[in-house]
Chains A and B, each alone.
Chain A
């Protein structure tokens, strides 16, 4: 071997040993000595993750017995499943509401009821729909971190002036359809210049169309995808696809890009109205602060005035996985997050409404979203709709999204798509019940 090669080899060897030694020293930092460490994994990253870090820091400063060790990392669901399966779960996990009952159905969560009641965190402390969405009978499985409600966002510069205010904007589906017919524009080749409304945009709540027309997706406890209200909702969707032509709506087909796309049809003026969550204002503030917009409740079918003021709700939540080593201390931290001042600070920083029944005037006054009062009202509406409390819900949601795409692209008629979805869901439902049944 040449001397140069020997020298190179020696250098590589030294570097390798050095890296191995150094790597061993870069391991988990020990939390505060003398304190109980609570491990908290949160799916929020970026600015949202940093806002939660502030809450964690405040909690750690507020007392001297417990130290919350905070990890902000996406993919927390998968990481938590693997760690729980390996008997090594975190003490607190920040997940989505849709996942709560998946975990709960498999006995993977700690029952929070007794601890919550003892801490005064009962149903009347919350906006009822948010609390109910996390409990099953008398059992509470999770508490909110930040919630959301959705409404129809409107660009006043793209609609006729007589409907360009929240007070005058259409209240019913039929009026919305008429407005859409009036203002939508297409090129000679059929491509869209602008749509008044497009059901496929942004495409995140396809499970919600049926309920927005009055459907109960778990009628009598069994998943029902092809009930008359849902069929009616999908027929309504099909009319939009038919009007614009499948080719045109395909450009706005839901689900392209598993991330908030920078090509946002609402901000770029491809649609005049869009159904979206309270957080839409965050995007507008970041990307196009000068954009004019307002929000109204999602319209309801004219013959169902009882549905007026409805909204779809979602929540980011905190849970204590079963097998967590520090459940009691973990709950102390969760309870801290539920304090009105802490919760309002967090929700305001995230641009969300508060899940608590009592909301301070300052919260509304200082909130970055000027329509925050509307989103608060929507959450309080008796017609508010939240994801079904079943671990089977992600399946229902997935099948409805698929049925939506089949209808929207003209592959199937609404009835056909929903009947097919129902047939598939029936088989899966049977398997699911066997899976969660305790042996």
Chain B
């Protein structure tokens, strides 16, 4: 790129970054404010004093009453569920999407259409039968309703991966097949590495979706020590008592921090793609 264009790109990116980072900065500044300054009109950006102690206060919030540090228990539970979901989602969706994208079998296109159709029915009208079903399985109160379904694939991920798999030229896999590679080898050694950015996207979205999921844990969990972080964030909110906004924002920041870190590293795979597929 010409230097003038590089400069232009930088200017555009800096301006956009400022705009897009605003809500995050808003969280950050609220998180370190004294409580009284969370409520001013017009709102103030710079707190009169920076209270880093809000972060430990948020983590240990409620630990005296409960006898343990709820934030850490919720974090453990969230990590368990998220790990199971991400692994299950990547394992199941890649291979299913491969089948839809690159193998022919009777009824495939019809079934794919049905798969897409499942996303078009809104979730609230499915909640009652889903609850009833998991109750019959004896799963209410356990983590199973939250992670087992991930191992069977999701329409969103299958659709996305299928679109990516279909952009990979067929001659590569044909060559491998002629060399005697099994279909699984073709999938695992040729197609999957080429679709790494897309697989990363699925892993990342599953991670974010599970980490932040509120409705699932709300409906299916029945004990405080099985709660996840997103449920735990309610502990700072009250009906009529005055919410400690600073602690809520401090806790929220801690909750999303792992996602930011994971994202920062995951997006690096988005440059390898060109190197590996550049030989076309």
Does the CB pair A23–B143 fall under 8 Å? Answer: yes
Tell me which residues across on chain B come within 8 A of A28, comparing CB atoms.
141, 222-223, 226
Q: A26's contact among B80, B132, B219, B240, by CB below 8 Å, is which?
A: B80
- Bin chain A's interface residue count: 35 or more
Tell me which residues across on chain A come within 8 A of B143, comparing CB atoms.
23-24, 26-27
Does the CB pair A263–B240 fall under 8 Å? Answer: no
B41 sits at the interface (CB 8 A): yes
Q: From A39, A85, A260, name the one whose CB has the most chain B CB atoms within 10 angstroms.
A: A260
Q: From A69, A262, A279, name the one whose CB has the most chain B CB atoms within 10 angstroms.
A: A262
Does the CB pair B241–A47 fall under 8 Å? Answer: yes
Tell me which residues across on chain B come within 8 A of A82, comparing CB atoms.
127-128, 131, 219
Q: From A85, A270, A286, name the one whose CB has the most chain B CB atoms within 10 angstroms.
A: A286
Does the CB pair B43–A350 fall under 8 Å? Answer: no
Q: A287's contact among B35, B65, B132, by CB below 8 Å, is which?
A: B35
Of chain B, the residue at the smallest CB distance from A83 is B131
B182 sits at the interface (CB 8 A): no
Does the CB pair A260–B140 fall under 8 Å? Answer: no
Tell me which residues across on chain A come within 8 A of B235, comparing CB atoms.
45-46, 49, 72
CA gap between A324 and B142 in the complex, in Å: 20
Known: A19-B80, A263-B41. A46 touches B236 (CB 8 A): yes
CA gap between A83 and B127 in the complex, in Å: 11
Of chain B, the residue at the smallest CB distance from A316 is B239
CA gap between A28 and B38 in the complex, in Å: 37
Does the CB pair B224–A72 fall under 8 Å? Answer: yes
Q: Which parts of A250-295 form the interface with B (CB within 8 Å)?
A: 259-260, 262-265, 267-268, 270, 277, 279, 282-283, 285-289
Stretch at the interface among A73-81, A165-173, A393-401: A73-81
CA gap between A236 and B132 in the complex, in Å: 50
Of chain B, the residue at the smallest CB distance from A43 is B239
Q: Which parts of A343-364 form the interface with B (CB within 8 Å)?
A: 350-352
Tell me which residues across on chain B come within 8 A of A87, comparing CB atoms.
135
Majority secondary structure of chain A interface residues (helix, strand, loop or mixed): mixed
B225 sits at the interface (CB 8 A): yes
Does the CB pair A86–B135 fall under 8 Å? Answer: yes
Tell me which residues across on chain B come within 8 A of A277, comparing CB atoms.
240
Of chain A, the residue at the smallest CB distance from B218 is A75
- Bin chain B's interface residue count: 35 or more
A415 to chain B, nearest CB (A): 35
Of chain A, the residue at the smallest CB distance from B38 is A262
Does the CB pair A48–B241 fall under 8 Å? Answer: yes
Stretch at the interface among B8-16, B157-165, B242-250: B242-250
Does the CB pair A26–B87 fall under 8 Å? Answer: no
A36 to chain B, nearest CB (A): 17
Q: B240's contact among A20, A71, A267, A351, by CB below 8 Å, is which?
A: A351
A209 sits at the interface (CB 8 A): no
Q: A15's contact among B36, B81, B83, by CB below 8 Å, is which?
A: B83
Q: Which parts of B166-206 form the interface with A (CB within 8 Å)?
A: 188-189
Q: A23's contact among B84, B188, B225, B245, by CB below 8 Å, is which?
A: B84
Q: B243's contact among A15, A79, A260, by CB below 8 Å, is which?
A: A260
CA gap between A434 and B226 in the complex, in Å: 41
A1 sits at the interface (CB 8 A): yes
B48 sits at the interface (CB 8 A): no
CA gap between A286 and B236 in the complex, in Å: 13
A88 sits at the interface (CB 8 A): yes
Does the CB pair A26–B131 fall under 8 Å? Answer: no
Does the CB pair A279–B241 fall under 8 Å? Answer: yes
Does the CB pair A44–B238 fall under 8 Å? Answer: yes
Does the CB pair B131–A86 fall under 8 Å? Answer: yes
A306 sits at the interface (CB 8 A): no
Q: From B41, B140, B236, B238, name the one whose CB has the most chain A CB atoms within 10 angstroms.
A: B238
Q: From B39, B65, B147, name the one whose CB has the most chain A CB atoms within 10 angstroms.
A: B39
CA gap between A66 and B80 in the complex, in Å: 33
Tell me which residues across on chain B come within 8 A of A49, comparing CB atoms.
235, 238
CA gap between A215 and B264 in the complex, in Å: 60
CA gap between A227 and B240 in the complex, in Å: 32
Does the CB pair B243–A46 fall under 8 Å? Answer: yes
A12 sits at the interface (CB 8 A): yes
Tell me which residues across on chain B come within 8 A of A264, comparing CB atoms.
39
A29 sits at the interface (CB 8 A): yes
Does the CB pair A27–B36 fall under 8 Å? Answer: no
Does the CB pair A288–B231 fall under 8 Å? Answer: no
Known: A86-B132, A262-B39, A263-B39. A45 touches B238 (CB 8 A): yes
Does the CB pair B223–A44 fall under 8 Å? Answer: no
Contact digits for B233-271, partner A, Cβ 8 Å, 1 yes 0 no: 011111111111100000000000000000000000000
Q: A24's contact among B38, B142, B189, B234, by CB below 8 Å, is which?
A: B142
A7 sits at the interface (CB 8 A): no
Of chain B, the residue at the smallest CB distance from A278 is B240
A53 sits at the interface (CB 8 A): yes
Does the CB pair B135–A88 fall under 8 Å? Answer: yes
Does the CB pair A286–B234 fall under 8 Å? Answer: no
Tell me which residues across on chain B come within 8 A of A263, comparing CB atoms.
39, 41, 43
Does the CB pair A73–B87 fall under 8 Å? Answer: no
Does the CB pair A287–B218 fall under 8 Å? Answer: no
Tell me which residues across on chain A come within 8 A of B140, comparing CB atoms.
86, 88
Tell me which residues across on chain A come within 8 A of B142, comparing CB atoms.
23-24, 27
Does the CB pair A288–B87 fall under 8 Å? Answer: no
Does the CB pair A282–B222 fall under 8 Å? Answer: no
Does the CB pair B240–A47 fall under 8 Å? Answer: no
Supplied contacts A285-B242, A286-B241, A286-B242, 6 more A-B pairs, CB within 8 Å? A22-B80, A23-B142, A26-B143, A29-B225, A46-B241, A74-B218
What would be 13 A-B contacts, judged by CB atoms less than 8 Å apart? A16-B87, A19-B79, A26-B76, A27-B142, A49-B235, A72-B224, A74-B218, A75-B218, A87-B135, A260-B240, A286-B241, A350-B240, A350-B241
Query: Nearest 7 CB-CB pairs, A to B?
Result: A286-B242, A279-B240, A268-B41, A46-B238, A28-B223, A45-B234, A262-B39
